[in-house]
Structure 1
Amino acid sequence: MIALNSPLKPDLKKLHQYLEKVNSSGWFTNFGPLHNELTDRLEDYLGVKNLLLVSNGTVALQLAGRALGVDNLITTPFSFVATSSAFQWQKDTISFADIDRQSYNLCPDATSRALTQDPALDTILATHVYGNPCDVKGFESLGKEKNVKVIYDAAHTFGIKVGDQSVLSYGDASTLSFHATKLFHTVEGGAVVFKDKQHFEKAKLLINFGIEPDKGIVETGVNGKLNEYQAAVGLVNLERMDIVLQHRAELFSQYITGLKDVVELPKWHSEANYNGAYMPIKLKNSQQASKLITKLAESNIQSRTYFSPALDSVFTECKNHGTPNSDAVTDGVLCLPLHVEMTAEDVDKVICKIKESGVL
């Protein structure tokens, strides 16, 4: 079978060496030495500052909101459920604006109209869908013009740059997921990259129950820390990331070449690189997508609709500023297999089976 995804498996010999250090020290969590080492190495690898490791990607979103004082967000309906549910859980107010029809990312023009219509909005929450960067410069200008904060759900963007600058350096905060399904992972985990040091410091306080050393409880916080065992997995996996990113990007490029005249593909940011996080394609409608999923399954090839349903159809109580582009993309989008254990021959087989399917 050609699986949809296969998590990166850490080298057990190297992992064991790290875990022996943890056991010897007896320091298992609470900002331990491996946690701090992984923080430093990730900041260096990704080219960012003010990176805070957290227990998962959902906590990363919630923490970014709390540290920045978010209350009323305008966001995308075309994303994984956590992008909205993280803030719904915190009783924040959420509204939806439309996506750009070509990139599938939140549209700055649609967002601008929503901000004009609703002056109570204080934050833009955009997702770099499939690792494809949003119009970060457009949102930067919009944030300044409307005096609102900008948060990016950057769960898919490990290793992505816009020009020579990490995509994580844009916005007031960018959040990452290090779930096992992501191309870099700590089994469970995540991170927030903050633009300002003061927000980083507040967030670090919040994930430790609001406890400040020598002062006691000064905020209402939670437990959102990444433990030493998770950090050990991250340190081992990080050693392979150059090879992993290169391999996945090559497979992604192979897919693009083979399918660009066969199915619709999202338009990639012109200044950004590839990381091969996902391989999305857009068919005419959900019925055609369903037929293709079935045909591929007959050849032992996994695929899945991603993202569906659109979040505005899930959180129906939220205000909707009009989402025709999102509706059109959701109706027929699916993801093909893409992971580090795949080969070029596997990709050729998937492409061939799509062309031979009789569905298109």
Structure 2
Amino acid sequence: MTPNGTPTIKKAPAALAVAATGLRKSYGDKTVLDGIDLAVPAGSVFSLLGPNGAGKTTAVKILSTLIGADGGDLRVGGHDVAADPQAVRAAVGVTGQFSAVDSLITGEENMLLMADLRHLPRAEGRRTAAELLERFDLADAAKKPASTYSGGMKRRLDIAMTLVGGPRIIFLDEPTTGLDPRARHTMWRIIRELVAGGVTVFLTTQYLEEADELADRIAVLHQGRIAAEGSAEELKRIVPGGHVRLRFTDPAAYRSAAAALREVTRDDEALALQIPSDGSQRELRAVLDWLDAAGIEADELTVHTPDLDDVFFALTGGTRTATDAPADAHQTEETAR
């Protein structure tokens, strides 16, 4: 009951498109998946991150019935993966790391082949193929051999083939690997459109920016276990290290600032100070106000906030270098005054 006496209406939990409890898989004495749990709400984008060899592709293959699990309770589209694999296959589409496109035939022929495999009536298969080729901007190239397609066109055709039969759950295993930035952004637009239409997307990717851009929830897979899970913003908050960096060219100004500021890390060689910060406008304004009040002018001010790269390296034990992320991805640099 609410405080005014009216009954409380409880919202039903979101239906799960993918639910896995205790998923296990080993090859010989090597444990690839060590009892992981996954819960993917319908109509969302879920991203599974992890280093190469972490088991991301193995998880996709198991959930899409391509290989069997050693243990776990697995349901996809409401169907038990072990007990009713045919129902799971009817509900899902899979785009693997390597294109399923046959380069020896045309784009249209690839689509019609997939329609046959989905057992669509001929007229429905032709209509579906034409609609998807148009939707993915491939109608003009439909009669050309797929061998003449660019990498981005082949990937779009691959996903179009996956959508034949109208699956409501799509597994995309590193769908943008090898694509140039323009083609990658095109794929991102396509994924957003799919989700807007009610499709659930289970995405594995080697691009942390991609997960940050697309995913509603992200799970980091490391050494066969889920190391952390949450939204991109939730994951970023678990990693310390946000800071404001002040750099000086005047040694006297540097010494004055270092003496006056608390909780500051000094770099005497670079004449730079690092102040812990969450990167918020409020904290940045406080630093600028303090500089003004003290009559101190820094020559450069840089704000750094943790990003998914920081989360990934912290959770998987890697070491981040200056070349691991674009210089402009999560930093701003300006003259202090």
Smaller-chain TM-score bracket: under 0.3
When Rg is computed on C-alpha atoms for both structures, the one with the higher figure is 2
Q: Which has the higher strand share?
A: 2
- Structure having the higher helix fraction is 1
TM-score (norm. length: structure 2) = 0.28
